[in-house]
Amino acid sequence: MEFTRMAPECGVEVSGVSLANCSDSEMESIKQAIYEHGVAVFREQEFSPEDHIKFGRRWGGIDVNNYFPLQDDFNEIAVVKKDPDQQTNIGGAWHTDHSYDQIPAMGSVLVARHLPPQGGDTMWAHMGAAYDALPDDMKARIDELEAFHTADHVYKEDGLYAQTDMGKSLRGQNLKTGAVHPVVIRHPHTGRKLLYVNTAFTINFVGQTREESLPLLTELTNAALTETNQCRLQWKPGTVAIWDNRTSWHNAMNDYQGHYREMHRITLSGEALAA
């Protein structure tokens, strides 16, 4: 296998391996690359739905998404799609998946199934590099903080998606979510300190109101999204991306109006987070 950085601080493209048939040692190298770089991209993959599920189970477990439509014949696969007449896409803001769960999902395996002629890129940002770049006084300020995360305002019956043309295709509007996590976590496999807040699901710091929390949340967001800290993936047929929700944020670009896009996602089970 060969590993090529996508950007100075985030992302790696991996060549010379078939995900559907990778060996145990190759699987371990892939995991370590994702833990370290936040996201790994694989091109020209022959990766059927059966391969997708088998790969997810080899990783250690699959979390079925409560909100997205599910693939008819393979219910462990979530369908992330946008119709030509829709204006809103899923995931069109910087976020990390499932931070609203007590044990957040480790990451995702996303497979390109139907792409627009252009646009629809996905971006990632590295939260280890984001933390490292913070000044020492900011690190001291946030190292002991905890934050509350929820998805209710996004997915509930009168939530953000319900007010758009995307809402009708989603599930789980009656679910209640909520979890408290450290603002700075330590990666369970690399030991690296990571910034663990995001713009979509982090509501407030424990002991503070939403209004009191917003200035610091905004400051941390701006500090995280530096140019060298981001990578961008231009999808092509046969492309698979696997990312780590602890190490990275991601953002799905919504710049392909009038075209259909369909991606298949398996969500990988995670571990409890620790400061």
Predicted pLDDT of residue 29: 97
Q: How many residues does the chain have?
A: 275
CATH class of 2-141+222-268: alpha beta
For 53, phi then psi, to 5°, come to -65, -45
Task: Give me Rg for the CA atoms of the chain.
Answer: 18
| SS3 of 155-176 | HCCCCCHHHCCCHHHCCCCCCC
What residues pair up with 42 in beta bridges, in sequence order?
14, 240
How far is residue 131 from each of residues 138, 177, 197, 266, measured CA to CA in Å? 9, 26, 11, 28
Report how far residue 230's alpha carbon sits from residue 110's, in angstroms, rounded to the nearest whole number.
18
| CA geometry: angle 137, 248, 34, nearest 5 deg | 125
**Alpha carbon of residue 213 to chain centroid:** 23
* pLDDT confidence of residue 177: 79
* pLDDT value of residue 244: 98
Phi and psi for 38 in degrees, rounded to 5?
90, -40
Q: What is the pLDDT along the chain (275 residues), one digit of tens a residue?
A: 999 999 999 999 999 999 999 999 999 999 999 999 999 999 999 999 999 999 999 998 899 887 778 888 999 999 999 999 998 888 888 999 999 999 999 999 999 999 999 999 999 999 999 999 999 999 999 999 999 999 887 666 765 666 676 666 676 566 777 999 999 999 999 999 999 999 999 999 999 999 999 999 999 999 999 989 999 999 999 999 999 999 999 999 999 999 999 999 999 999 999 98
**What is d(CA 226, CA 156) in angstroms, rounded to the nearest whole number?**
32
**CA gap 124, 10 in Å, rounded:** 7
Question: What are the φ and ψ backbone dihedral angles of 51, each rounded to 5 degrees?
Answer: -65, -40
- Residue 191's contacts (CB-CB under 8 Å, 6 or more residues apart) are none
Report whether 93 contacts 270 (CB < 8 A). no
Task: Give CA–CA dist 128/229, Å, rounded.
Answer: 9
Domain boundaries, the chain: 2-141+222-268
The reported pLDDT for the residue numbered 246 is 96
Residue 133: per-residue pLDDT: 95
For the whole model, what pTM was predicted? 0.94
Nearest by Cα to 99 from 266, 264, 249: 249
